[in-house]
């Protein structure tokens, strides 16, 4: 296992001498995230502490070792950098990451709050078009880099898109974060389906919902499309109710598919040639026939570049869905956006 342990244990004391904790910023089943400050430089870092299972002395799982070693190799302005890993004496360990105070979920929540003010918003409630273009461009740059390194993120959603705020020297820089579900998709091809559910339900690609056992980086692109819509409309596009079953790690998500079919129309083998080969295709006949109504729920004109890009990001057939590289070359980004 643990190529990490010899290197990191000797740095444990150094970590305590180098950083001071400023407070916990989030908690979950895996552990917690805290903000620390470098005592000398005053630079802030995020420290993600993972708790090991009580009573177990198995060390760090080999899969997590691979993930950490993978992330250490990633180096891009729009991908959150893992600076270091430190193992504690109790078996728990820390990932030291770049610190970003703001994430896209919080930014969207702030603008939603502006819209609900009874006296009217002091600022335009919608995100500025230039800001949206900048965020989208940077997300796609980060995803294009990951895909070029054979990495699928598999859990893109607003809370996993971080943004440097005005207090940061590189304000406005967007970083793709949280690689807990990320996997390398290079040959030999693995049955990713065996990993269990991936991608938060509202941002989950239709091929996943249809039970695809092998899938491609196109699942990340679908999620980016869902995020793009939310940036413009300040609400999720496909807000379905997730089905959870203790005896089935991958239950059929009928409500989520229904939400997608209501907006994009019910797909068939002309739109998506391989759909009938997918495990959940047996359910298709039970859905009502619907047509594409995206233009009625997305307020940008159908002739607009924004609409055209969104349409290509939300293509049913993953083989036809636009790639991150192609999306960056879309006419929507003809005038390169600024981070500022």
Q: How far apart are the first and last CA of the chain?
A: 44
Residues whose CB falls within 8 Å of the CB of residue 8, separated by 6 or more in sequence, listed in order: 84, 85, 86, 87, 93
173: closest CA among 134, 143, 147?
134
> CB-hemisphere CA count at 13 Å for 72?
11
Q: Binding site membership for ATP: which residues?
A: 48
Contact 161, 53 (CB under 8 A): no
323: closest CA among 208, 225, 221?
221
Q: Which of 98, 103, 155, 178 is catalytic?
A: 155
Residue holding tokens 């630079």?
Answer: 43
155 carries an active-site annotation = yes
Q: How far apart are CA 235 and CA 182, in angstroms?
A: 26
Q: Binding site membership: which residues?
A: 48
Residue 153, classed as helix, strand or coil, is coil
Active site residues: 155
């Amino acid at each position: 296992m643990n190529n990490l342990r010899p290197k990191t244990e000797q740095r444990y004391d150094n970590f305590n001498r180098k950083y001071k904790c400023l407070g916990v910023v989030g908690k979950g089943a895996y552990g917690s995230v805290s903000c620390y400050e470098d005592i000398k430089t005053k630079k802030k870092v995020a420290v993600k502490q993972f708790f090991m299972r009580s009573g177990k002395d198995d060390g760090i799982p080999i899969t997590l070792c691979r993930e950490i070693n993978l992330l250490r190799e990633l180096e891009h302005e729009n991908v959150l950098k893992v600076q270091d890993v430190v193992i504690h004496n109790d078996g728990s360990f820390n990932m030291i990451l770049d610190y970003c105070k703001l994430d896209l979920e919080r930014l969207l929540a702030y603008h939603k709050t502006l819209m609900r003010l009874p006296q009217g918003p002091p600022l335009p409630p919608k995100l500025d078009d230039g800001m949206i273009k900048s965020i989208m461009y940077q997300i796609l740059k980060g995803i294009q880099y990951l895909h070029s390194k054979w990495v699928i993120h598999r859990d893109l959603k607003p809370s996993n898109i971080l943004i440097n705020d005005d207090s940061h020297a590189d304000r406005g820089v967007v970083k793709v974060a949280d690689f807990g579900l990320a996997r390398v998709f290079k040959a030999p091809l693995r049955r990713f389906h065996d990993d269990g559910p991936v991608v938060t339900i509202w941002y989950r690609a239709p091929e996943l919902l249809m039970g695809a056992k092998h899938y491609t980086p196109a699942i990340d692109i679908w999620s980016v499309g869902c995020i793009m819509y939310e940036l413009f409309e300040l609400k999720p596009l496909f807000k379905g109710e997730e089905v959870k079953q203790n005896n089935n790690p991958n239950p059929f998500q009928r409500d989520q598919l229904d939400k997608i079919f209501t907006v994009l129309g019910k797909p068939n083998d002309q739109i998506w040639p391989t759909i009938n080969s997918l495990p959940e295709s047996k359910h298709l006949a039970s859905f009502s026939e619907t047509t594409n109504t995206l233009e009625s729920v997305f307020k940008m004109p159908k002739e607009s570049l924004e609409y055209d890009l969104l349409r290509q990001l939300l293509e049913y057939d993953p083989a036809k869905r636009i790639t991150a590289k192609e999306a960056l070359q879309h006419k929507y980004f003809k005038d390169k956006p600024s981070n500022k």
